Chain A
Amino acid sequence: MNAKLVAEHVGKTFRQRHRWVTAIADLNLYVVENEFVSLLGPSGCGKSTFLMMAAGLDFPTSGRLLFNGSEITGPSIERGMVFQSYTLFPWLTVAENIRFALQKRSLPRSRQDELVAESVRRVGLEGFEQAYPAQLSGGMRQRVAIARALVYRPQMLLMDEPFGALDAQTRLLMQELLLRVWESARTTVLFVTHDVDEAILLSDRVYVMTARPGTIKAEVTIDLPRPRTAATESTPRYVELRRLILEQIHIEAQRAFTSMAS
């Protein structure tokens, strides 16, 4: 097994005013090369915190987080990130935003042009190369963010609820777009979401997280055939997987609810 990312007993505690809060405790997971894995959990379960640590933008307070077998000590060009909020550089056009990501790859200008044009095409933004982010819709902005994170070919892509701020229809279109892009590129992906359908539709495996302290509650392999589309969501196996995951979440939610009430 060729594990790209491995989390061993990862914990994260931080000080909030005058008390210590455990955001993540004893979290174990792995992501194999070319695998699409989702981290599914309610808001505030620490899944985004975990992704920040995988990116090297934050660090665990206990346990180990390994990338290609060595401990993550900081951000790396080999782990691309797509954030939840709009993070395009507003002073750069679509093409310039994508090209910005290439500057540490030391490529000739002509090769850069090729790569930028290719990724613009991949996310279907031909004709918008010279537009500024302010002129784009939310869905288009996230498409540029995906193109920007893919263009420099990081070994792994970390996605933090990238479609969380989009409306339902745009969201579904974006999921299909991501499926197409991923099925042709096959980059290793760790995808954070609170949306059960999104996790099933996109992933090879889903880790279900619990809240406070955040840890892995269950691991579900999504054995739905690829290529997948929105129509996949009406197949019997999909419905079965969905029920299975929802059951896990429900048990957890009830446990959290009763512990809160007591």
Chain B
Amino acid sequence: MLVDFELIKRARAGDGPAFNQLVLAYRKRILGTIARLIGHPEDVEDVGQEVFVRLYFSLDQLRSAEVFEPWLYRLTANAAYDYLRKRRRRTESRMADLSEQQVMVADALAGEAENRNDNERKRIRESVDSLLGAVSEEDRVLLMLKEVEGLSLKELGKVYHVNENALKVRLFRARQRVLKAFLANRKRTAGVSGSH
């Protein structure tokens, strides 16, 4: 916990300065999570603010201060999901739309993690974003929380209010779908580089 329970209780009771302190304590972490969940840095602040606005209006429904963090993660996951759904409706970007260059980058990424400039980071984000087009928005958020944010199954269970076994099955299927897309891309890239 980044704050003490007393601050959460005060914010829940409608104390504005306490809520302000709460946001200041969590905003960087939440913005980071959103950045990785949605993969579009230009919209991170907007989605982050939406999370805290939802928090402000739903804080009185929080059962106890102890469950604050899973609650905040739930709001974050929901806001990211809403954003991704809207975005997908706009762009409909899928694996099939990946340029050959993007596919090659996605493959090459696995080996080299150092000395990347902003351009490369952007390409990594785009590649992962495209790869995750193989799964639904819900599964994408779930997979990112597990694989990238490093949340345990127990923590995810608290966020989603679902039992761990159901989550395990869902995560496995989502990961298999992404892996299949990843392997298909690799094969395609190998074919492209082989033909040149």
Does chain A bind chain B?
Answer: no
